[in-house]
A and B are shown apart, each in its own frame.
Chain A
Amino acid sequence: MINNNAAQIQAQVGAYVKTVHKNLNEALHETGQRGVGIVKGNSPVVSGRLRNSMAYSIEGKVIGGEAPEDTIRPSKEKQTVVVGTNVVYGPSVEYLSQTGSKGFMLRSYKYWKPIAERLIAKAFEHYGGVG
């Protein structure tokens, strides 16, 4: 009896962990897509190079962006989403622009953070009980 219950518990915990991983992965992708959308909306545009370079990376994969040399480098961190650009003049637009674009990444981050928190929290909501 005890062995059957233990096996059952183990199976259910295993299913729970698998579901949470799947939900979290989907939430990270949605978070990344929203982040890229927000930062693209806030990016200043002249040629479009900076805006089109915005992409997100999860566990070694980069999604989005156009020219490979402009898109973000792959992030190897697990269960982490990184949004950004690799365009060489990105930092100087962010920190030194005198045309009102200064801080566009920070603005995007401040808007994106509560959205990301909500999406990740939702991933853990409907996991169901064990036992």
Chain B
Amino acid sequence: MKTQAQLKAEVYNALQNDTSLTDNIFWIARPTVSNDLPVIVYAILPMGSDYSFGIVRDSEDIVFQVDIYTSPGDVATMDASIERIKTDMEALNYQNIGDPGEFFEKDLNAVVRPTRWERVNV
């Protein structure tokens, strides 16, 4: 059984090693001092309330959120990157959950598309 740190490293390595994706990959949040786009931000979604409700969870029962930020004129890159992320995450035994959505970050002038990934067969 893998620890959360191992699972996190796996996701980072998969995204980092994919040469079709940007090298700007960050944990938790994008850097505020630099506005280079595209940017990928990945984070674990806390499910901590389950522990307080007494539900026992497998340590591998985890949800990642992978956000891709691109400039508004570069949506083709975003679509291609989303497909690469799908390939990389599915290879690690994650499935996409939730509805697709897009947001516009005014301060960065970027379009952001969050995707959520749940580990399967845990």
Mark A residues whose CB is within 8 Å of B: 42, 91-92, 95-96, 98, 100, 102-103, 106-107, 110-111
Q: Which of B58-86 contact A (CB under 8 A)?
A: 63, 65, 67
CA distance A96 to B101 in the complex (A): 11
Given A91-B101, A91-B103, A111-B53, A100–B112 Cβ distance below 8 Å? no
A95 contacts B101, CB within 8 Å? yes
Interface size class of B (residues with CB under 8 A): 10 to 19
A103 contacts B103, CB within 8 Å? no
Task: List chain A residues, Cβ under 8 A from B63.
Answer: 103, 106
Partner of A106 from B53, B98, B101, B112 at Cβ < 8 Å: B98
B45 contacts A102, CB within 8 Å? yes
Partner of A92 from B29, B43, B65, B103 at Cβ < 8 Å: B103
Tally of contacts, chain A with chain B, CB under 8 A: 39
Task: List chain A residues, Cβ under 8 A from B29.
Answer: 98
Partner of B103 from A95, A102, A106 at Cβ < 8 Å: A95
CA distance A100 to B49 in the complex (A): 12
Task: List chain A residues, Cβ under 8 A from B53.
Answer: 111
A110 contacts B65, CB within 8 Å? no
Given A95-B65, A96-B114, A102-B65, A107–B47 Cβ distance below 8 Å? yes
Interface pairs A-B: 5 shortest CB-CB: A103-B45, A95-B114, A107-B49, A107-B47, A91-B101
30 pairs of residues in contact across A and B, judged by CB atoms under 8 Å: A42-B49, A91-B103, A92-B103, A95-B65, A95-B67, A95-B101, A95-B103, A95-B114, A96-B67, A96-B103, A96-B112, A96-B114, A98-B29, A100-B46, A102-B43, A102-B45, A103-B45, A103-B46, A103-B65, A106-B63, A106-B97, A106-B98, A106-B116, A107-B49, A107-B50, A110-B47, A111-B49, A111-B50, A111-B53, A111-B55
